[in-house]
A and B are shown apart, each in its own frame.
Chain A
Amino acid sequence: MLALFRELLAYRALIHILVARDLKARYRGSVLGLLWTLLNPLLHMGIYALLFSVYMRSATERYAVFLLCGLLPWIWFSASLMMGATSIVEGGSLLKKVFFPAHVLPTVTVTANFVNFLLGIPILFTFLVLYGVQMGLPVLLLPFIIVCQFAFTLGLTFMLAAVSVHYRDIPHILGHFLTFWFFLSPIVYPATQVPESYRFILLLNPFVPFVVAYQDILLYNIYPSPGVCGGMIGISLGVLLCGLWIFTHLRWSFAEEI
């Protein structure tokens, strides 16, 4: 497992090239280019703001910026899983013909979406300022939450990418599954609005600590509870190790199965 990390480090130049390439390719040929990185979350935000704030009159304060706090991390997370699940299958021509470090492929997907996420951070802060949100020391925890989410996303992407080689149904199911997951996470509504008797659903959802932590430090200027922090660390480490384990075990089957 450690060897795998060392190998990833050794191939960071390769990861760098592939990520740059991925980002360039994504918006090539589109008139607005990189602006789409900013427009995508804003359009999502606009739709949900109209739905929940105007039509359904949600009582949540500063709803637009509340949404953005959860949406940006979610887009990073879900886009990584969607693209990552097919990364090994689509990288087939590389894996079959030369010795190619397979774990570089899912890492590239997660990193490329992470860069997209980072590009969205300035908009988030612009909105926070526009809405007059008071920010304090808790904001300094942002890098910590991001690191945890990176590990969590990477671990899950490793799992999906490896298992999708053997079960090609997974990328098809994943889109629907992520839609359910999105609405079961307190992104478009605050966690406090979930009725007491349904709270257990939040406890079962591994994405919840991350959203709650982002909202706490950015919007409410408070430190996340120890439970939330512990949850993030536990989930991210556990999922990353589990993902790496599965990936390493299935790795040799890739060249033969693709």
Chain B
Amino acid sequence: MIAVEVENLSKRFRRQTVQPYTTIKSAIVDVFWRRRSGEAATFEVLSGITFSVKQGQALSIIGRNGSGKSTLLKVLAGIYRADHGRIRVHGRIGALLELGTGFHPEFSGRENVFINGIILGLSKKEIRQRFDQIVQFAGLEGFIDEPVKTYSSGMYMRLGFAVAVHADLDILLIDEILAVGDVAFQLKCFDKIAEFRQHGKTIILVSHDLASAEQLSDEVIWLDRGIMREQGKPQRVISHYRWDMLGQEERRGLSEHH
């Protein structure tokens, strides 16, 4: 059974170098100027991405900064819309992206658990039943009624992870977040991820931590400037990626010496 299927996906962004948004003034100016200078500048963040993940497998996406890893996850999560291509998802999908995964800083931890849980597809009743478990997993027993803006980044992340793993998701998208927690919590997360996979759930993970990517995943995709450079067994792809990075470092080193 295939859990996620991506076919020839591409995504463009509008360049937002000078002004991140339009004002009425610039819109009026644009009518007269930009039309003549052609299309608004865009650049391709992802192009021709094709892969599929089987149910119960873990896929890691690696690549340098700006290679499009996070954008790919956001497209899969339904936050961005792809410009071309097809995505088919079988099952309930949920994402843990960066820090403060959709938390409202002014709201208490308790309120955010409910808001987040509902977004991930739980009913209020289901959240109430799991509430203590979630708080315990996050280790936030004493702080759950404080506004989350007072939380440390580790606490933020723990709470986000705790809600997501208790939400009965079939497919979990994780972006870098494991890097924030302390070792004890990281181990807890690894255990939970292993348990997840035993239950036939699918994980797609973006990571800079190559060791954990190798340890956790069945398959690895290497993204390079929005294009899939390689896909395959973790060991092989990761070692090629390492070689490539080393090669670049060396070239840079050489050019600096001469």
Contacts and interface: CB of A to CB of B under 8 A. Distances in A.
B87 to A, nearest CB: 13
Nearest to A91: B104
Contacts of A167: 22-24, 27
A25 B23 CA distance: 31
Interface string B153-180: 0000000000000000000000000000
Interface string A90-101: 000111111111
A18 interface: yes
A21 interface: yes
B118 A100 contact: no
A93 B105 contact: yes
B101 A18 contact: no
Interface in A79-124: 93-101
Contact of A100 (B23, B114, B119): B119
Contacts, number: 71
Contacts of B81: 252
Interface residues of A, number: 25
Name A's interface SS: helix
Contacts of B97: 97-98
B56 interface: no
Nearest to A99: B78
Nearest to B116: A98
A199 interface: no
Interface stretch (A9-17, A62-70, A139-147): A9-17
Interface string B38-51: 00000000000000
Contacts of A100: 102, 119
B226 interface: no
A17 B111 contact: yes
Contact of A99 (B95, B98, B106): B95
A61 interface: no
B257 interface: no
Contacts of B100: 93, 97
A166 B81 CA distance: 18
Contact of B123 (A13, A17, A96, A256): A13
Nearest to B81: A252
B104 A169 contact: no
A223 B124 CA distance: 43
A100 to B, nearest CB: 6
Nearest to A167: B24
B107 interface: yes
Contacts of A257: 20-21
Interface of A: 11, 13-14, 17-18, 21, 25, 93-101, 165-169, 252, 255-257
Interface of B: 13-14, 20-25, 27, 74, 77-81, 94-95, 97-98, 100-107, 111, 114-116, 118-119, 123-124
- Which 6 pairs, one residue from A and one from B, show the smallest C-beta to C-beta distance? A98-B102, A99-B78, A252-B81, A14-B118, A97-B102, A169-B24
